[in-house]
Amino acid sequence: MTSSRVASELASVLVPIGIVGAVLAGLCALVAAIAVMRGAGGLAGGAVGVWIPAAVLSLAASFANQWMPIIVSGALLVGLLIIGAVVRGIVDAGEPARSTARAARITAAAGHAQTGAVATTAGAVTTSTPATGSIPALAG
């Protein structure tokens, strides 16, 4: 066999392996980005840890001078991690306002439940207004 024929045979095997590796690396990058958005550091680290062998697998296509799978897998990881961090920052920026509003609703519901509870004692029987919990829509 000539060297060009061997290279052609290798390319027909290694390029699909590299493409599969790039797809797996892209999926791992997506899982890592979602984990960063949710604040799950362990899951993000695990996804990046699985991304590494998938990226090495996508490197197989480079033996046939096809560099696109490794470039795509690297760009996906970087891009999705940046997007995940930005979304996480936006969510964290709105958290103080949400926690303040949540605390105000709970305080209002607790105050309403305390003023609405009337206990009367008639011998051994005690009746009171049923508590609705901390859900203001059901307090009544």
Q: Where are the domains of the chain?
A: 3-84
Total residues found in the chain within this entry: 140
C-alpha R_g of the chain:
29
What share of the chain has pLDDT > 90, as a percent?
49
- Give the pLDDT of residue 76: 95
- C-alpha separations of 5 from 8, 76, 80 in Å: 5, 33, 39
pLDDT (average), residues 100-108: 84
Angle at which helix 68-116 crosses helix 41-58, to 10 degrees, equals: 170
In tens, the pLDDT along 65-93 reads: 889 999 999 999 999 999 999 999 998 88
Considering only residues 7 and 55, tell me which one the structure prediction assigns the higher pLDDT. 55
What pLDDT does residue 63 have?
85
Predicted pLDDT of residue 72: 95
Please compute the mean of the pLDDT values over residues 114-118 and round it to a whole number: 57
Closest CA relative to residue 21, chosen from 96, 76, 97, 103: 76
CA distance 92 to 109: 26
Weakest mean pLDDT among 21-30, 40-49, 125-134: 125-134
How far is it, in rounded angstroms, from Cα 43 to Cα 117?
46
Per-residue confidence (pLDDT) for residue 105, from 0 to 100: 86
Contact 32, 84 (CB under 8 A): yes
What does pTM read for this prediction? 0.66
Condensed to tens digits (0 to 9), the pLDDT of residues 35-54 reads: 999 989 899 999 999 999 99
Among the residues of 1-140, which ranges form H helices?
3-38, 41-58, 68-116
Give dist(CA 49, CA 58) in Å, integer.
15
